[in-house]
Structure 1
Amino acid sequence: MGCVCGREDLTINNRKFYIKSRIGEGGFSYIDLIEDANNRRLFALKRISCHSKEDERVAMQEVEIMKTFHHQNLIALEESAMVSVGYHSKTLDITCDVLIAMPYYRKGSLQDKMEILRSKGEKMPEDYIWNMFIGTCHGLRALHSHNPPYAHRDVKPANVMISDDNNPVLMDLGSAAKARVETNTSSECRSLQDQASERCSMLFRAPELFNVDLGANIDERTDIWSLGCVLYGMAYLESPFEKIYQRGDSIALAVLGCNIKFPDFSGYSGHVNEIIQWLMTVNIAERPFIDEVIAKVETICINKV
């Protein structure tokens, strides 16, 4: 990395970029807006700081998953690299950054759009909601139909970007993992629960990931619950559990009890609330798979035309 004429730059796989600004930050990484030095195209650069071999493994798993999937509704990988940055002061382990360059979406995320609409006292048109929802479903189907199936495990409005042609792109595959897990020991239950607590946003987390039972069969339908939360968010501009969170009440109890409140008047067809309730079935064994969801929503959209 270097600095020329006041412009900080970095090179990934012999490809030079200029760093323009910081555009995001999370618990495990931060994101910069970068510009290709050759063609001036803008990209987002995710920089994951690793302080152990386990950190490196998790970060590189995200890279490998991004390399595996190529779908218009899933975030694409532009470039990636692992860069050594020094030694950890206590363990003397070499620390590194994993760099992931990906497309930049100037329209932002569904979460950004929800916040703008809420500030204006406006709402999303129902046709727009269904378009965003079905596109997100198609991205998930690519993950769920892989052999073996993958689950995203952190589907939420902030992880759905909006392309220039108003199509959704599901991003942040850092929480993605093989979907089907059997918990045969107490340590396996604790491990999965700890992973979910660390990487799955609480307001969109499926009930089975709050309290992982011994002998549980977890599968890709954890994402279906989260899809229901996203659909609710698009319609009502907040998580179905946002008010409970603001009061400081237990999210886990509300989720396990499926304590969802709908406005008395939404202005939408009855299909919206019907699909939300169907997706947010507490018992994972009774929740639909992604193909069933797509088929049902496409039928709704055809009948609306």
Structure 2
Amino acid sequence: MNALGLTMIMKMGCICTRETININGIKYSVLERLGDGGFSTVDLVECKNNKKIYAMKRMTCHSIADQQKVQREIDYLKKIRHANIMELHDSYFKGSADIVVNTTSEAFLVLPYYPRGTLHDNLQSRAIEKHHMDVTEIFRIFSSVCDAVQYLHEMKPQPLAHRDLKTANICFTDNFTPVVIDLGSMVEARIQVCGSQDAQKLQDEAAENSSAPYRAPELFNVDSYCVIDERTDIWSLGCILYALCYFMSPFDLVYMRGDSVALAVLSGGVHFPEESKYPDHVHDLIIYMLNTNPAERPFIQSVIEKTQIVMNTVNNIA
């Protein structure tokens, strides 16, 4: 750079100044971009008041429906208090929070930052070296996630379903406590489907909000007259336990090949490696949750009880 260019930059000041966002009178300085999706971005920010680091989720709303969905996520986060579910520090709507007319609005959610990353990240690193997790650690993590799911499924006055439980939506705190994140897909768990229009709407929402390799079969092909309940999450828990053992969902390879995940899920075929370090009791627990018939799939309390039995059995074998 020549002397003239350097002089101009010195006169102008730094052109790389950090963005500052004001949330309800508190200023946050954006440090870096953590993630960028189709509907939202997540930035690493520093609170100028207490110098603490947070993750800030920024969502653009293009319609009243978008705003209602974001507001629902905020309301759930404000209501929920559980050690294994992400908490909300603050939130703010920029623009119209009631109606959108030829414009957009932005929602900002100030959330905890988890520097130890996600379970998905951890399992990907382990997969490279084929470093399988110890069965005790598997059940420590899985039991904590089950506790979070039980809390949601027993909410009053209506049980809630996360609807997008997966390894990428489980983070670790500094002491490796698992925390369920991203409640944007969460809904009241029990939905009465009355007719083909209701069925198609629910199926479309599931395709948009629920990741295919962890999505329950009844959400791929919604019956015209049925009740969908919280046991969609139980299917996802079965996929998560499989991933804890073998690094990915039993349907991830189908997804990566570009084959039909729906067909694979609806067929109900779950294959375990021939040479496995885990006892059949663990496989039985996975199959227990991956029942393609939602009416026969267990509720969370039964999963927790069976998990405890399997844990005790495995410990006695060891």
Alpha-carbon distance in structure 2 between the residues aligned to 1:271 and 1:156: 22
Alpha-carbon distance in structure 2 between the residues aligned to 1:204 and 1:262: 17
Q: Partner of 1:139 in structure 2?
A: 148
Alpha-carbon distance in structure 1 between the residues aligned to 2:125 and 2:153: 32
Q: Partner of 1:284 in structure 2?
A: 294
Matches of residues 59-98 of structure 1 in structure 2 within 5 Å?
Answer: 59-84=70-95, 92-98=101-107
Q: Equivalent of 2:311, from 296, 301, 305?
A: 301
C-alpha deviation, 1:247, in angstroms: 2.8
Q: Give CA-to-partner distance per residue, 1:83-138, whole Å, 9 cap, x none.
A: 129xxxxx952311111111111110100001111122312111111111010011
Q: Partner of 2:56 in structure 1?
A: 45
C-alpha deviation, 1:301, in angstroms: 2.5
- Runs of at least 4 residues off by over 4 Å: none
C-alpha deviation, 1:11, in angstroms: 1.3
Alpha-carbon distance in structure 1 between the residues aligned to 2:15 and 2:175: 35
Matches of residues 253-292 of structure 1 in structure 2 within 5 Å?
Answer: 253-292=263-302
Matches of residues 1-305 of structure 1 in structure 2 within 5 Å?
Answer: 6-84=17-95, 92-147=101-156, 148-303=158-313, 304=315
- Name structure 1 gaps, 5 residues minimum: 86-90
Q: CA RMSD in A?
A: 1.7
* Contact map agreement 1:131 1:167 (CA 8 A) in 2: no
Alpha-carbon distance in structure 1 between the residues aligned to 2:287 and 2:294: 13
Alpha-carbon distance in structure 1 between the residues aligned to 2:101 and 2:81: 38
TM-score by length of 2: 0.90
Aligned residues: 298
- Name structure 2 gaps, 5 residues minimum: 1-13
Q: Give CA-to-partner distance per residue, 1:252-300, whole Å, 9 cap, x none.
A: 1110111211101221122221111000000001111111111221233
TM-score by length of 1: 0.94
SS in 1 for 2:295: helix
